[in-house]
Amino acid sequence: MAGRDRARFVCQACGAVTAKWAGRCEACGAWNTLAEEIAAPKPGALARPKTVARGIDLVGLLGTSEPPPRLMSGIAEFDRVLGGGLVAGSAVLVGGDPGIGKSTLMLQAASRLAGNGQSVIYITGEESIEQVRLRARRLGLEQAPLALAAASHLPDIAATLETRPGLGLVVIDSIQTMWLDAFDAVPGTLTQVRAAGFELVRLAKTLGFALVLVGHVTKDGAIAGPRVLEHMVDAVLYFEGERGHQFRILRGVKNRFGATDEIGVFEMTDHGLAEVANPSALFLAERRGHVAGSAVFAGIEGTRPVLLEIQALLAPNAGGTPRRAVLGWDAGRLAMLLAVLETRCGLRLAGNDVHLNIAGGLRITEPAADLAVAAALVSAASETPASPDTVYFGEVGLSGEIRQVALAEARLREAAKLGFARACLPRRLARGAKRLVPPEGLQLQEIGHLGDLLAGFAVSGAGRKPRREAE
């Protein structure tokens, strides 16, 4: 029929639209992701009447507006990642693996804000009210003046929010459960997630409350749903960590009101998520000194210096292709570093399986970890423990040179605060470079090439230090 809505098929992985169903999406190559949806939406509860077009006001860049006010949750690590707290009228998307603690973190933050006098609404679409109350009792938050609801029909939620003036924060857990009856699609599909996200962000901007959307992630670690959802919101946070590990990392990847590379460190306890004010001490708490294959890296996460232990293990390979197993670092960068060690420094590692691990569950992305990883590999190859009171940082080039990295002073101050006596770092070769003044009690060992690092471990040409004969 001419007036009948036409069906279409939308890929749930990339959002591509096709007129016919197929087993494989031609746009992204994913299998069994095409779902049938109705192309034209029916008039629904949130349908808006057409408006007459009118001109818009144009202004200059110069203005006198004050910085947006912040809502401090009282959880310092959460506020740090947000850039100092939640901004009124902003939208934040929080994603993470199932069971990682997203709902626990948001319930704690919402309860803290409600206890500070803010009007807070927590809407869950996945759990019942009793389940949320049970978690609140376990966390000791049952006395918080928090407004709680279990709902997923967005028109009902919007009608409630529009009648509650003075809202400070609204938490939606999760956006994949929200649905509008204007679209003939099940909750969680691209159409429903995109429309629900747009409507909720519009309400937050119009009514002036801070909005937090909890989102699911795919098996690849990306937030499920359309990528346009990440463009709609003002901040995107990822909650990372292993469910069998006590550490949790809250990482900001987008933030219109703050830095995009800050992290917050939490520890999962019986009473919820506890803040970790000094993550360096926690990551190094179980470190054992005088063990071959271990080196301490002085890294930077956002504006915070963090010291981590890098562990390397070399195992002889009887035959076949040697294995390269990496946890917490880029596997491609490890392959590059192994090639530099073998080609430029004569360290023979091709016949060994290489296992690299960043202790503590944190993932490192900055190239400043190259020197620490090289120190761990050389220590494992020579069977010589690295100095337990030495930290390493520096980028390694393809010719084996050690390059400068940013924020060296902050790294050195963190190392001195934790009692380290020596720092191995790149040599300053540029003319007019500012002289680096180490903190009191910290000695600097500046090197310009990986060969200088190998000399400290007395590595032989075969990549092994000769064993001493037993007496």
Q: Read off the pLDDT of residues 248-269 as tens digits, 9 standing for 90 and up.
A: 889 888 999 988 878 888 988 8
For the record, the structure tokens of 371 come out as 């020197």
Total tally of structural domains belonging to the chain: 3
Q: Which residue has the higher pLDDT, 46 or 137?
A: 137
Q: In one letter, which amino acid is 399?
A: S
- Inter-residue contact 322 to 350 (CB < 8 Å): yes
Q: Is the pLDDT of residue 468 over 60?
A: no
User: Of 252, 277, 302, which residue constitutes the final position of a domain?
Assistant: 277
Over residues 351-403, the pLDDT tens digits come to 899 999 998 778 898 999 999 999 999 999 999 999 999 999 999 999 999 99
- Say how far apart CA 172 and CA 178 lie, in whole Å: 9
Q: Is residue 64 part of a domain?
A: no
Q: What is the pTM of this model?
A: 0.76
Q: Is residue 469 part of a domain?
A: no
421 and 394 in a single domain? The answer is: yes
Give the Cβ contact number of residue 419 at 10 Å. Answer: 10
Residues 6+ apart with CB under 8 A from 388: 289, 290
Task: Tell me the C-alpha distance between 401 and 459, whole Å.
Answer: 18
Same domain, 194 and 295: no
pLDDT exceeds 80 at position 407: yes
Say whether both 299 and 413 belong to one domain: yes
| 131 and 267, same domain (yes or no) | yes
> ∠258-276-263 over CA atoms, to 5°?
25
Q: Which domain holds residue 33?
A: 7-38
Residues 302 and 226 occupy one common structural domain = no
Q: Which residues contact 152 (CB under 8 A, 6 or more apart)?
A: 125, 177, 178, 179, 187
The answer on 251 and 110 residing in a single domain is yes
Q: Are residues 25 and 108 in the same domain?
A: no
Give the integer Cα–Cα distance in Å for 195 and 204: 14
pLDDT at residue 459 in the model: 61
**Amino acid sitting at position 289:** G
Q: Helices then strands (H, E): number in the chain? A: 11, 23
Amino acid at 129: I
Classify residue 366: in a domain, yes or no. yes
**Whether residue 174 sits in one domain with residue 248:** yes
Element (H, E) at 122: strand 120-124
In a domain, 55, yes or no: no
Judge if 334 and 368 occupy the same domain. yes
Q: Domain with 165 in it: what CATH number? A: 3.40.50.300
Shared domain for 134 and 264, answered yes or no, is yes
For 356, the token pair is 């690299």
Q: In what order do the strands lie in the sheet with 7-11?
A: 17-18, 7-11, 34-38
CA 225 from chain centre, in angstroms, equals 18
What is the per-residue pLDDT across 298-350, written as a single tens digit (0 to 9) for each? 999 878 899 999 999 999 887 778 899 999 999 999 999 999 999 999 888 88
| Within a domain: 271 | yes
Instruction: Identify whether 62 is part of a domain.
Output: no
Cis peptide before 174 (omega within 30 of 0): yes
Same domain, yes or no, for 355 and 256?
no
Residue 287 above 50 pLDDT? yes
User: Whose structure tokens read 């049952």?
Assistant: 142
pLDDT tens for residues 189-223? 888 888 999 999 999 999 999 999 999 887 666 77
In this structure, the answer to whether residues 302 and 258 fall within a common structural domain is no
Residue 325, C-beta contacts closer than 8 angstroms, at least 6 positions apart: 353, 354, 355, 356
